[in-house]
Chains A and B, each alone.
Chain A
Amino acid sequence: MKETSISNKGRSGLGKFLIKYNTYIMLLVLIIICTSISTDFFTADNWINIGRQYSGTIIVCMGMLFVILTGGIDLSVGSIQALGSVMVAWVLTTQGWSMPLAILIPLAFGFGLGMVTGLLTAYAKMAPFIASLAMMTIARGLAFMISNGQPVATPENSIGQLGVGAVGGVLPYLVLLAAVVVVIFALLQRYTSFGRIVIAIGSNETAVRLAGISVKKQKMAVYAISGLCAALSGIIAASRTAIGTPIIGEGLELDAIAACVIGGASLAGGEGSCIKTVVGVLVLALISNIMNLLSVPSYPQDVIKGLIIIGSVLLQSFTAGRKEQSV
């Protein structure tokens, strides 16, 4: 192991560069490939489209990233997104309440359900996989109950405005919202005690506890935040289509985990970056986008997407292995 560390020092600058920026390079290569095979790809319309479509996913990924940083996992995000979306429609259409409530109530529910997952994980010492798996069915069930299993339309000129609107007619509100969320999370991670403790917990929970920090509260908090993000993405989903539907968000948790991992996060915890996670989402987004532009049918699309995830994670573990050896 140590021998390679010596030879590693002798690596060329290019090798180091490739390893350090592999996520960005992957995105760049993908952009170049997409641009060269489809003339529709590198157009403002297409980019704005991608931005609208994936702003919700990016927000979900931020919540997921913090959970992953602590060494946990949250499988309930897809269901909470669905619950968020039907609750918007339920508040506006079924109850006829006001817009602020249509945003606050889903957010409160997402936060609350996330907190329950967090309580189970941090205080009842349940495995995060199991606790969030249970929450995944609970939230999905709630979404079906509220909507009676049917899509619910939202009134005209309400939440839909958020989905289609854009600053100056160019920059969609949704993209702006996602950008703000990403900046908040990046600052949280880099500059706050909370962010620092979250990373430290993922690296060595025992040491953090013995340093006099209440690990449980922080662990619970990341799940609550993840639930909040998922509910926000549900509101976004409802705003884009102007309907609340209980069947969206299937498999979103896996996409979110994949994006974090493509962005270099370690599922063991303690390592991951907000910006790189956004790049991870974009990698997934571009893969789907280009295949849509090329009219690849959806089943092969899934196979190809899976293969690309495997490839990129293999690349990660290869470079991570290098890094470990150099320590």
Chain B
Amino acid sequence: METYRVEMLQIDKHFGGVHALKNIDFRVEKGTIHALVGENGAGKSTLMKILSGAVQKDSGIIKIDGKEEAIHSPHDGKRCGISTIYQEFMLAPHLTVAENIFIDKLTQGGKWINWKNLRKKAQEILNRLGFDNIDPNMRVAELPVAYQQIVEISKNLMNDNTKVLVLDEPTAVLTFSEIEKLFGLVRRLKEQGVSIIYISHRLDEVFELCDKITVMKDGAVVQTVDAGRIDKKALISSMVGRELSTLFPKREAQIGEVVLKASHLTCGTMVKDVSFEVRKGEVLGFSGLVGAGRTETMRAVFGADKPEAGTVTLNGKQRLFKDPKQAVRSRLGLLPEDRKQQGVVLDQSIRINTTLSCLKKVERFPGWISDGKDKKTASEILEQLQTKYGSLEDPVSSLSGGNQQKVSLAKWMAADCECIILDEPTRGVDVGAKVEIYKNINDLAAQGIAVIIISSEMEEIIGMCDRVLVMRQGKIVGELEKAEITENNLIHFAMGG
């Protein structure tokens, strides 16, 4: 019997109280492209980090080519021939391409760096990958993001003994032609006998590229199948574990008059002449590809960035916010896409975070906070959002992603916002928390709050929104309502077909 290239047996992992991986068995054959799919938080990345040595397993066995290996550090992982390319690049932006590729072998075993040799070797590697147009003398920071990714891959492949290449969402930042090139490269590596583990949310790519598919959910493997033996619909329902209709609860909201209106907003290169309006109780979606200017539009509306032209009208009053303070005072809230860096103050308590935008409301007299009011306000709103937390004094960092997001949302509810903009509200939260956040959003709408959702997940847009605007290259290119909101229509507008 042929041995597997990678065998991970009975892998178990806890993060604090969270059971992240539950006795997982995962096997990859030699020279295959094996997709690993599942919702955010299903445990895909954790499993791969254990394989590469970046995270330690609690228990279980890892075998490479049938031989049991102890992988306790990224160094061990490399020794076993495992190369991982993460979503975030591990590059030094101010060094050249060649320096980055050979970052851990600059001297090539000698005492001094032979620059000529180094450049030549870097060029060879790039040529081999089919990217001879990248100059090894360029600084990485000057390269387009897609090419930075290629540098990242080159860096890993420089390691000649690579047996397993793990790609974590490699196409998120690439254009179509670049994706084709990457696929070509991956197929060539497969022919050379390298096993590829491919993590992606883009199911079309998975079907195009992969031989086998393993579905993970809530830290367990649901199934491993041949790619030819399953269709997209079946794959989605096995990932989500339920029908889409139950994922998106029904909403009972009355749509009223216009709350927020933006006209001819222009800001930098990412927002060009954008106009839209959102009504009381309405959930308006903003769809489009990453980098289409959705986040930038909302930042301009909120006053986080300064627009060059255009107006914003809130509750009939025309005004352009100079900073977020003015926006919040006018009862507009923005939940940023980067929760940890922008949405919450991670190290501070849940209480401080929840009432941060409504300090005036919890003061006894100007400037002086009433502990009682503060606690009451925070706990009432958090309860309304069904947030799970131990004590109000615990730091937000002690919460799960979904509950952190709820604290971030609670802040705007506490501030009595009439319009709340949610930028990727369910990014990085598990399915269960997602459904709860969807319910929260429905409650907001039912209370007559105008909600704007930016989302890159089509199901979310389709399932949640009354109306959708699609952006492409800084402009609104399409408007869809109710029955028109379909995956085909969204893609059609987003891609500019």
Chain A interface residues toward B at CB < 8 A: 2-3, 5-6, 191-194, 196-197, 199-200, 203-204, 206-214, 270-271, 327
Contact = CB atoms under 8 A, between A and B. Distances in A.
Contacts of A207: 336, 341-345
A199 B369 contact: no
Given A196-B352, A211-B357, A212-B415, A206 B346 contact: no
B56 interface: yes
A327 B329 contact: no
Contacts of B367: 192-194
B336 A2 contact: no
6 contacts: A3-B56, A5-B16, A207-B341, A209-B324, A210-B334, A212-B415
B345 A204 contact: yes
B345 A192 contact: no
A212 B348 contact: no
Which of A3, A193, A212, A213 counts the most chain B CB atoms within 10 A? Answer: A212
Contact of A200 (B16, B342, B348, B371): B348
A200 B325 CA distance: 16
Size class of the contact patch on chain B: 35 or more
B341 A200 contact: no
Contact of B325 (A194, A203, A212): A212
A97 to B, nearest CB: 33
Interface in B330-375: 333-334, 336, 341-348, 352, 356-357, 359-360, 363, 367-369, 371
B304 interface: yes
A327 B396 CA distance: 10
Given A192-B368, A192-B369, A203-B347, A210 B397 contact: no
A211 B411 contact: yes
A270 B348 contact: yes
B358 to A, nearest CB: 9
Chain A interface SS verdict (over half): helix
Given A192-B368, A203-B346, A212 B328 contact: yes
B345 A200 contact: yes
The 3 closest A-B pairs by CB, nearest first: A212-B328, A193-B359, A204-B345
B55 to A, nearest CB: 8
Contacts of B328: 211-212
B395 interface: yes
Contact of A2 (B14, B343, B398): B14
B369 A212 contact: no
B37 interface: no
B352 A199 contact: yes
B327 interface: yes
Given A199-B352, A200-B352, A209-B323, 14 more contacts: A3-B56, A5-B16, A6-B16, A192-B367, A193-B359, A193-B363, A196-B356, A197-B359, A203-B346, A204-B345, A210-B336, A213-B325, A213-B356, A327-B395
B112 interface: no
A208 B356 CA distance: 8
A206 B325 CA distance: 13
A213 B353 CA distance: 13
Contacts of A204: 341-342, 344-347
Interface in B268-304: 302, 304
A10 to B, nearest CB: 14
Contact of A214 (B325, B352, B395): B325
Contacts of B369: 191-193, 196
B176 interface: no
A5 B14 CA distance: 11
Nearest to B411: A211
A213 B367 CA distance: 14
Contacts of B360: 193
Contacts of A206: 341-342
Interface string B292-328: 0000000000101000000000000000000111011
A3 B346 CA distance: 21
Contact of B324 (A193, A199, A212): A212
A209 B16 CA distance: 31
A210 B97 CA distance: 36
Contacts of B334: 210
Nearest to B336: A210
Nearest to B304: A210
Contacts of B324: 209-213
A49 B218 CA distance: 65
Given A204-B345, A206-B341, A207-B343, A327 B411 contact: no
Which of B333, B345, B371, B397 counts the most chain A CB atoms within 10 A? Answer: B345
Contacts of B325: 212-214
Nearest to B326: A212
Nearest to B364: A191
Nearest to B13: A2
B15 to A, nearest CB: 5
B42 to A, nearest CB: 18
A197 B363 CA distance: 13
A196 B359 contact: yes
A191 to B, nearest CB: 6
Contacts of A213: 324-325, 356-357
Contact of B14 (A6, A192, A199): A6
A2 B360 CA distance: 39
